[in-house]
């Protein structure tokens, strides 16, 4: 797993390279936990438990994420193809216009709760990119490396964007006006995803500019739909004689099916997913706490208002019964009704651009998460994943994303197998998000107990509880059998198979952790220790996990600090436990 047998002598000069250790470092101890304060170049400092990857004092990816990029990183992730199709799905599941609109408001409230949780986490660890990777590591520091290993296995193995690429390919073929065969569909999907990877790989700043451009185009498209809806509602479209028809008796037809209502909530949650995208790049943002607080909130509010107005536009233009009977995109029905059939081609092109912008935003944020996983020392060939050479971008994570996406596009046949693979990641993700919410409460408790200085942001306790409950809801409700029975889901086999396999993957992670971190060291007569090393000359650093023979452990511990940095010659760790640095 990428660690070597007692390489401390080889990496000493790297571990103590200038810029890795701030003079303001200090340690607060709480039993066996050590909270180390470090300062970074984005203007922040904070305490983190020493098991975590070291802070990069100077971000090797630069500081190119400004306020507009934060907005468009989130907007690009949230607005993929969902707003063009999900409104019809929500209407079919809820049964009424009124309840469908209420669900969009509920989705916004749940997203606000999640945003508050993410803001508090960022205020604790403002100089670490990777968001969930860091927060799980810090929320559950013991047993050492357990959550990093578990999150790494599922995040890396399930690190693909095949469904997004296939959606983009579908829209391109719609523009061409021909139904593709399976390999034509896959070929275009691979080409589109390859282009997206090249775009973000060759230059970091230019890739963020591209995200801004695609985000602006999405914003203009949603504004056009929203304004059109208001014009229609005002009675200014002759082709739509009664735009208020759907809003009279708005709750007529509301479903009483618990399964449909729960599925509607799941769909709403996914429609808003992506509001957290920019948090993965916190160490690339100057003064990240106020900057994210203002602009991540703005992006969520902008998207909610546009989502709601787009729904109003759809329902003002298209009678409810047509929506319920149609299998087409809600936006396609809207454009055809309001502007004529020729407008559908323009819509397909706009949705294609929206899909490509979504690919870019997801690639950028997930590359930071994979890189941060590597910096925890739990991936083989650590330096390869952490290095940002030669382009100043995380090349290794981008190539990994491309390889797994290529495999998942080519390997599974269309139909059940593809749908199963796409769904596989969702349940482990929900488990980790629920654990993350609980982890925030644990961090609060530990910081209070150890008298760690307060953070710059604290979420309302009610919002934290709401976030945890919403994640538990998403864990429980998918187990309710669909209306058509246990084989009536989106696949022809047992509807909950993807959840069972997802849980099994986490079980394998636990078994792997026990063998790697407990059993093999016991049999091999060694202990695993973390060492800080520099990777590039541009500020990149990482933890490397080493095997230290049992008879050398005492000497190792005496000559390294809590983070795994070599102590200066002649300085040794004392056994005294106090609120002072070693």
DSSP 183-233: HHHHHHHHHHHHHHHHHHHS-HHHHHHHHHHHHHHHHHHHHHHHHHHHHHH
Query: What is the C-alpha to C-alpha distance for residues 235 and 32, in angstroms, rounded to an integer?
Result: 69
Secondary structure of residue 533 in the 3-state scheme: strand
In the numeric block, the tokens 């948090």 are attached to: 279
Structure confidence at residue 542 (pLDDT): 93
Structure confidence by residue, pLDDT tens digits, 151-163: 887 777 777 787 8
Burial track 230-249 (b if 16+ CB lie within 10 A, e otherwise): eebbeeebeebeebeebeee
Q: Which ranges constitute the DSSP H helices of 450-546?
A: 461-476, 497-513, 520-524
Give the list of residues 6+ apart from residue 26 with CB closer than 8 angstroms, or none. Answer: 36, 37, 580, 581
What is the rounded (10 degree) CA torsion for 235, 236, 239, 240? -20
- What SS3 class is residue 103? helix
pLDDT number for residue 392: 92
pLDDT at 87: 87
Tell which phi-psi region holds residue 287, choosing left (phi > 0), alpha (psi between -120 and 50) or beta: left
Task: Tell me: cis bond preceding 143? Omega within 30 of 0 counts.
Answer: yes
DSSP 560: B
Helices H / strands E in the chain, number of each: 22, 5
pLDDT in tens, the chain (582 residues): 444 333 333 333 333 333 333 434 588 888 888 898 989 999 999 899 988 899 999 999 999 999 999 999 999 999 987 788 788 889 988 999 999 999 999 999 999 999 999 999 999 999 999 999 999 999 999 988 888 888 887 777 777 787 888 888 888 888 888 888 889 999 999 999 999 999 999 999 999 999 999 999 999 999 999 999 999 988 877 778 888 888 988 899 898 887 788 888 888 988 898 999 999 999 999 999 999 999 999 999 999 999 999 999 999 998 888 878 776 677 888 888 888 877 878 888 888 899 999 999 999 999 999 999 999 998 889 999 999 999 999 999 999 999 999 998 888 776 666 667 767 777 888 899 999 999 999 999 999 998 888 889 999 999 999 999 999 988 888 888 877 777 766 667 787 888 898 888 888 888 989 998 999 999 999 999 999 999 988 889 999 999 999 999 999 889 888 888 888 877 777 654 434 333
d(CA 17, CA 72): 36
Question: Alpha-carbon torsion 467, 469, 470, 471, what sign?
Answer: positive
The closest alpha carbon to 3, from 553, 387, 527, belongs to: 527
DSSP one-letter string for 237-274: -TT-S-TTGGGTTTTTT----HHHHHHHHHHHHHHHTT
Report DSSP state, residue 492.
Answer: S
Distance in angstroms (rounded) separating the CA atoms of residues 434 and 426: 12
Contacts of 366 (CB under 8 A, 6+ apart): 159, 280, 397, 401
Domains of the chain: 59-524 (1.20.1740.10)
User: What does the pLDDT read at residue 548?
Assistant: 94
Say what angle helices 426-449 and 132-139 make with each other, to 10 degrees. 50
**Residue carrying structure tokens 């010659």:** 569
What is the C-alpha separation between 163 and 142, in angstroms, rounded?
36
Can you give the three-state secondary structure of 124-173, one letter per residue? HCCCCCCCHHHHHHHHCCCCCCHHHHHHHHHHHHCCCCHHHHHHHHHHHH
Per the listing, tokens 């949780």 go with 117
Nearest to 137 by CA among 372, 367, 370: 372
Cβ pair 105, 372 in contact under 8 A? no
Q: Which of 551, 545, 499 is nearest to 525 (CA)?
A: 551
Q: What is the CA radius of gyration of the chain?
A: 25
pLDDT, tens only, 163-217 = 888 888 888 888 888 888 889 999 999 999 999 999 999 999 999 999 999 999 9
Q: Which residues contact 527 (CB under 8 A, 6 or more apart)?
A: 521, 547, 548, 550, 553
Task: Give the residue among 61, 63, 30 at the shortest CA–CA distance from 47.
Answer: 30
- Check if the beta carbon of residue 2 is closer than 8 Å to that of residue 382: yes
Which distant-in-sequence residues (6+ apart) come within 8 Å of 270 by Cβ?
Answer: 82, 86
Q: What is the DSSP string of 376-388?
A: TT-SSSHHHHH--
d(CA 364, CA 277): 9
């Amino acid at each position: 797993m990428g660690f070597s047998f007692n390489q401390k002598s080889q990496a000493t000069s790297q571990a103590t390279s200038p810029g890795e250790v701030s003079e303001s470092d200090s340690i607060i101890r709480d039993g066996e936990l050590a909270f180390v304060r470090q300062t970074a170049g984005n203007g922040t400092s904070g305490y983190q438990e020493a098991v975590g990857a070291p802070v990069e004092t100077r971000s090797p990816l630069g500081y190119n994420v400004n306020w507009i990029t934060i907005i468009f990183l989130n907007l690009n992730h949230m607005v993929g193809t969902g707003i063009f199709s999900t409104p019809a799905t929500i209407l079919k599941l809820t049964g009424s216009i009124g309840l469908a609109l209420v669900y969009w408001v509920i989705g916004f409230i749940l997203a606000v709760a999640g945003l508050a949780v993410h803001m508090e986490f960022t205020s604790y660890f403002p100089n670490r990119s990777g968001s969930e990777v860091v927060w799980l590591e810090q929320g559950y520091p013991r047993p050492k490396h357990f959550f990093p290993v578990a999150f790494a296995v599922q995040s890396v193995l399930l690190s693909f964007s095949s469904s997004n690429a296939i959606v983009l390919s579908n829209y391109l073929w719609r523009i061409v006006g021909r139904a593709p065969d399976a390999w034509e569909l896959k070929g275009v999907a691979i080409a589109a995803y390859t282009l997206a990877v090249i775009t973000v790989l060759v230059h970091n700043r230019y890739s963020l500019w591209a995200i801004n451009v695609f985000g602006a185009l999405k914003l203009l498209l949603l504004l056009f739909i929203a304004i059109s809806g208001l014009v229609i509602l005002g009675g200014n479209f002759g082709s739509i004689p009664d735009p208020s028809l759907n809003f009279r008796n708005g709750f007529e037809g509301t479903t009483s099916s618990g399964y449909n209502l729960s599925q509607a909530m799941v769909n709403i949650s996914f429609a808003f997913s992506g509001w957290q995208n920019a948090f993965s790049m916190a160490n690339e943002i100057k003064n990240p706490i106020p900057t994210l607080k203002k602009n991540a909130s703005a992006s969520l509010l902008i998207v909610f208002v546009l989502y709601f107005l787009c729904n109003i536009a759809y329902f003002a233009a298209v009678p409810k019964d047509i929506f319920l009977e149609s299998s087409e995109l809600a936006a396609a029905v809207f454009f055809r009704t309001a502007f004529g059939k020729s407008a559908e081609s323009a819509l397909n092109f706009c949705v294609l651009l929206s899909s490509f912008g979504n690919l870019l935003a997801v690639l950028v944020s997930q590359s930071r998460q994979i890189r941060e996983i590597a910096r925890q020392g739990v991936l083989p060939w650590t330096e390869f994943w952490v290095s940002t050479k030669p382009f100043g971008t995380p090349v290794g994570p981008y190539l990994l994303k491309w390889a797994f996406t290529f495999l998942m596009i080519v390997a599974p046949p269309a139909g059940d197998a593809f749908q199963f693979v796409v769904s596989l990641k969702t349940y482990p993700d929900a488990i980790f998000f629920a654990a993350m919410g609980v982890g925030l409460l644990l961090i609060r408790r530990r910081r209070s107990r150890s008298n760690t200085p307060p953070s710059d942001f604290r979420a309302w306790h009610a919002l934290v509880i709401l976030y945890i409950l919403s994640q538990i809801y998403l864990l429980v409700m998918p187990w309710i059998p669909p209306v058509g029975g246990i084989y009536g889901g989106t696949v022809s086999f047992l509807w909950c198979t993807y959840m069972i396999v997802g849980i099994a993957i986490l079980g394998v992670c636990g078994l792997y952790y026990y063998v790697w971190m407990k059993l093999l060291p016991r049999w091999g007569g060694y202990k695993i220790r973390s060492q800080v090393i520099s990777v590039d000359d541009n500020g990149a650093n990482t933890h490397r996990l080493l095997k230290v023979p049992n008879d050398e452990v005492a000497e190792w511990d005496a000559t390294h600090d809590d983070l795994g940095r070599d102590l200066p010659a002649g300085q040794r760790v004392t056994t005294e436990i106090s609120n002072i640095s070693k």
